[in-house]
């Protein structure tokens, strides 16, 4: 899989935001009503924490 090339940070941030929103929506279909939990778990995953 090739990595996307961004011309600036704003473009990269916008792409991340789009993918983050799609991911949270898909997870939210299974884990209903737990938006804060989903957000916190994704933060831990993205920061390689636990």
pLDDT digits (tens, 9 = 90+) for 1-50: 678 788 999 999 999 999 999 999 999 999 999 999 999 999 999 998 86
Model pLDDT, residue 49: 81
Model pLDDT, residue 3: 80
pTM of the model as a whole: 0.75
Q: Where along the chain do its domains lie?
A: 9-47
Model pLDDT, residue 6: 83
Model pLDDT, residue 1: 62
The DSSP 8-state label assigned to residue 33 in this structure reads T
The DSSP 8-state label assigned to residue 3 in this structure reads P
CA distance 42 to 33: 16
């Amino acid at each position: 899989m090739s990595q996307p090339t961004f011309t600036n940070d704003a473009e990269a941030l916008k792409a991340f935001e789009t993918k983050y929103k799609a991911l949270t929506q898909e997870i939210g279909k299974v884990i209903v009503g737990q938006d804060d939990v989903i957000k916190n778990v994704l933060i831990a995953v993205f920061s390689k924490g636990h």
